[in-house]
Amino acid sequence: MSALPEYRTRILLERENVPLVKGVFVTQVAEHPEDLPEMPVYLKAQIPGATSRKSRGLVRRIDTPDEFVKNLNILLSPGEWGLAEGVLITEGVDLIAEYYAGCMLDFGSRDKLPGGVLLFSTEGGSGVEGRSGTLLKMDFSLLHPPAVEDIETELKNLEGVEEHAAVAGFLKGMISTYIGYRLNVLEVNPLGVLKDGSILAIDCRAEFEKSAVRKSDWDVFFPPGLRSSRDITELEKAVELINRDDPSGTGFFRQNRDTPSNEALRVATNLCGGGGKMLWEMTTGSRTDIFTMNESDTSGGLSAFKSYRILRVVLAQKDAQVLLLTGSGMAFQNQHHLAAAVWKALRESPTPLPSLLRFGGTDEDKASELFERVSSTLPVPVRTYPAVIFPNAMVDDIRDIAGEAGKTGEIYIPPEGEPSITVETPPGKIYFYPERWKKDEIPPSVAACPTGFLKWDISGLTTDPEAKCIGCLMCETAALLDGNAEILIYLEMPEVVD
């Protein structure tokens, strides 16, 4: 998934007549307009995918013309964050309230069509207490989106919002933008309320799949002559390699370029889906005691093989203290398979982290059951949470789990020699050890294969050429839990991670 910075997201919203705070985008100091808006103004470095920009100094309030030129120069020069595409200059406005609004994709399930989800919170960009009680979550059809009146009716059930008609009109414009440009995520945070009751987008961002962009919209999504540098870390390069070798599903990873304060807890994250990412940002965006080491999104029905690989990268981040994994609870991604990937990553990584895991989606109960069986065998403490738990409850546990002692784990030794089966897509090597399974009956590992790719006959293990390996890890999981470790899977990692 790719990200659109604020100034380009604004273009899309503007085309749908969504009201925005006044702003001008510049790529050079000399480009700034002579008639600046009245001070204060805000300077915002435009970097696709960057979040928590205020705490990272990428958003600055400016009160004098001198400060303006100096700070514009700084933000237009390469920094810890790389080189910004430019700087958005927006006027300061007096707000009487700040809200949050987001649209995201629900991939659906066997008994539910894919569609959109509208999230709206009266808590804006700050404060988490009681957030779940002030959150509106509204599913919508992509073919027949809701009318303004429908949204207004829903808003009237929510505490703390008074400008029902104006907000409903704004959210309708957001939904039109979201559907019209085939976005995966569209977020406005904060959505500001002025004294006269009118509503403005103060900050916004979007995520999209490159393949979904229409040619007619390339001017916004892929503008020529972008000056942004390829500021990429070793671990981000590793994820690019993983995506190159296994392009199915989303495998997004970007590290935070900022330096954490000494007191902040350093949290490595795996947020499965745009919804998980939004919930995390809403929950921790304003907290200085939590330092998010990275953004990562594994969703879109990717295999457990790929989830494992991205998790191994997430765990490899130097100085991380805790792993926090959460999904939106709506993404169409088998949680039992994901749990198998998490378990494998925690037992095979040379740097496992105490983990807070919130599974949500298909087979979420099986995911939790798996961890009930294996948590005590891991070298790090692990807690799991049901999907109904809002992420702020998990955040409250970060400090506790970071202080819990782990135990010495066995060093993972990968299987050696020629694998019994090599799977091309998703890439993986399956090792079968016949000496560990001498019984006549079918081994649990083969019985667990959901596609029938693994077969068992008189001669032992075979494969069905008509079936496909989907990289779910169920065979290895069953072999370790119910068999004699007769099947092991080796998933090669880029060198920097191993």
Alpha helix ranges (H) inside 246-315: 274-284, 304-315
Q: Given the complex with ligand SF4, which of 267 and 472 has the nearer CB atom?
A: 472
Give the residue with the Cβ less far from ligand SF4, 53 or 344: 344
CA 95, 102, 298, 401 dihedral sign is: positive
* C-beta closer to ligand SF4: residue 198 or 451: 451
CB of 457 to ligand SF4, least distance (A): 16
Tokens 């977020």, residue located: 187
Q: What is the nearest approach in angstroms of ligand SF4 to the Cβ of residue 298?
A: 17
H/E run at residue 432: strand 428-432
Shortest Å, Cβ 422 to ligand SF4 = 12
Q: How far is CA 155 from the centre of its chain?
A: 27
Shortest reach from residue 337's CB to ligand SF4, in Å = 8
- Of residues 112 and 468, the one with the C-beta less far from ligand SF4: 468
Question: x/- binding map, residues 271-300, to ligand SF4, per CB under 6 A?
Answer: ------------------------------
Closest separation in Å from C-beta 377 to ligand SF4: 21
Q: Is the distance from CB of 425 to CB of 247 less than 8 angstroms?
A: no
CA 364 to chain centroid: 18
Look-up of token digits 């993972």:
412
Whether the link from the prior residue into 426 is cis, omega within 30° of 0, is yes
Question: Which helix (H) or strand (E) segment is 155 a member of?
Answer: helix 148-155
Q: How far is it, in rounded angstroms, from Cα 491 to Cα 414?
A: 9
CB of 283 to ligand SF4, least distance (A): 34
| Residues 138-157, interacting with ligand SF4 (CB under 6 A) | none
Cβ distance to ligand SF4 smaller for residue 280 or 432? 432
1 sits near ligand SF4 (criterion: CB under 6 A)? no
Q: How far is the CB of 368 from ligand SF4 (least distance, A)?
A: 20
Q: How far is the CB of 359 from ligand SF4 (least distance, A)?
A: 18
Minimum CB distance to ligand SF4 smaller for 322 or for 470: 470
CB of 305 to ligand SF4, least distance (A): 7
Tokens of 374: 């294996």
Q: Residue 280: which of 264, 269, 289, 293 has the closest Cα?
A: 269
Q: What is the smallest separation between the CB atom of 448 and ligand SF4, expressed in angstroms? A: 6
Of residues 77 and 422, the one with the C-beta less far from ligand SF4: 422
- Chain center to CA of 436: 40
Residues 173-232 that bind ligand SF4 (CB under 6 A): none
Cα–Cα distance measured from residue 485 to residue 444, given in angstroms and rounded to the nearest whole number: 10
Specify the residue, 471 or 494, whose C-beta has the smaller distance to ligand SF4: 471
Query: Which parts of 431-450 interact with ligand SF4 (CB under 6 A)?
Result: 448-449
- Between CA 60 and CA 82 the distance in angstroms is 17
Q: What is the DSSP letter of 417?
A: S
Q: How far is the CB of 112 from ligand SF4 (least distance, A)?
A: 25
Residue 102: both structure tokens together: 């987001």
Q: Which is nearer to ligand SF4, 302 or 449 (CB)?
A: 449
**What token pair was written down for 244?**
């190159």
As a whole number of angstroms, the distance between CA 470 and CA 135 comes to 37
Provide the angle, in degrees to the nearest 10, between the axes of the packed helices 335-348 and 474-482. Answer: 70
CB 431 within 8 A of CB 420: yes
Q: How many CB atoms lie within 10 A of CB 122?
A: 23
Measured from the CB atom, the residue of 88 and 474 that comes closer to ligand SF4 is 474
Least Cβ distance, residue 355 to ligand SF4 (angstroms): 23
What is the Cα–Cα distance from 33 to 221, expressed in whole angstroms? 25
Question: 64 or 422: whose CB is closer to ligand SF4?
Answer: 422
Q: Residue for token digits 């995911």? A: 367
d(CA 327, CA 305): 18
Q: What sign results for the dihedral spanned by CA atoms 213, 215, 220, 224? A: positive
What's the rounded Cα separation, in Å, for the pair 136 and 171?
Answer: 12
CA dist 101 and 168 (Å) reads 11
Q: Which residue has the tokens 């900022």?
A: 258
- Closer CB to ligand SF4, 207 or 348, in the complex: 348
Binding mask 446-485 for ligand SF4 (x = CB under 6 A): --xx-x-xx--------------xxxxxxx----------
| Interface characters, 307-326, with ligand SF4 (x: CB under 6 A) | --------------------
In angstroms, give the least distance from the CB of 489 to ligand SF4. Answer: 7
Between the CA of residue 172 and those of 57, 137, 165, 232, what are the distances in Å?
Answer: 32, 14, 10, 37
Q: How many residues bind ligand SF4 (CB under 6 A)?
A: 12
Q: Which is nearer to ligand SF4, 257 or 429 (by Cβ)?
A: 429
Give the residues lining the site for ligand SF4 (CB under 6 A).
448-449, 451, 453-454, 469-475
